[in-house]
Amino acid sequence: MRKVSIIGIGAGDPEHVTIQAVRALNAVDVFFVVTKGTEQQELVDLRTEVLERYVDKPTYRVVEVRDPERERGATAPEQRAAVAAWRAARAEQYGALIRDELGEEGHGAFLAWGDPTLYESTLTIVADLAARADVAFDYEVVPGISAVSALAARHRIPLNRVGGAVQVTTGRRLAAGLPSDADDVVVMLDPSCTFREVAGEGVDIYWGAYLGTPDETLISGPVTEVADEIERVRTREKERKGWIFDTYLLRRK
């Protein structure tokens, strides 16, 4: 039977790759690499570096596929519809790759940024495909170092405080306000710097972009003091590179 591995390769540093991931990488016949255009060629290059550094199997192949374009909805319902359409297009692509590139007994893999179980759609799509009858395959998930863990480590802070809760959310959800039942909130997928709108006095921010890469940037301090700097640096770096991966922790004092 065909097999598909979803392998977490960390937030950007090739040394984030775990021993378990290295073992999984060396069992793979075909690596599926999803590209997003020339502006993110650096992300493809990072995956290539991981393969060249850790895979000893000389016969593996790399198959690249262009990620479907994704619409951006202005409202929550439009956003949900856009994400559903984008995932459906991805599922069609992934199903074709698994069916056409692996034969009956091949082993394929997707390399997932960070950890495949946290704000990463590949696992959901592959699981849905595996439940369908048209392409028969088994799959496994290999965890990786998430951007959340890398952020806390680089700022040298714990994610939680004694007996406290940590909430992981998105910028879109944060726009409704800081949750009342969590003093530590990790925010991902926030292109709008929503922290400016919801965090006033008494809230610190620990922000990081391009974690684990040579372009890694860290800023921390009271939101009221560093918000302008974060937004300025974020805008500058996105314009310079054409893309940005960032996340941050909001912490009530």
Give yes or no: residues 176 and 222 share one domain: yes
Indicate the pTM of the whole model. 0.92
Q: What is the CATH number of the domain that holds 197?
A: 3.30.950.10
Q: What is the CATH number of the domain that holds 16?
A: 3.40.1010.10
Q: Mark which of 89, 113, 142 sits at the end of a domain.
A: 142
Distance (Å, whole) CA 16 – CA 154: 13
Give yes or no: residues 138 and 171 share one domain: no
pLDDT by position in tens, the chain (length 253) = 999 999 999 999 999 999 999 999 999 999 999 887 655 788 889 999 999 999 999 999 999 998 888 777 667 677 778 888 888 899 999 999 999 999 889 999 999 999 999 999 999 999 999 998 788 999 999 999 999 999 999 999 999 998 888 999 999 999 999 988 888 999 999 999 999 988 777 899 999 999 999 999 999 999 999 999 999 999 999 999 989 999 999 999 8
Partners of residue 14 on adjacent β-strands: none
Give yes or no: residues 121 and 154 share one domain: no
Cα–Cα–Cα angle for 112, 115, 118, rounded to 5 degrees:
110
Q: Mark which of 103, 127, 142 sits at the end of a domain.
A: 142
Number of domains in the chain: 2
**Tens-place pLDDT, residues 1-35:** 999 999 999 999 999 999 999 999 999 999 999 88
Q: Domain containing 180: what range?
A: 147-252
With tokens 């088994």, the residue in question is 138
Give yes or no: residues 100 and 172 share one domain: no
Cα–Cα–Cα angle for 29, 34, 39, rounded to 5 degrees:
140
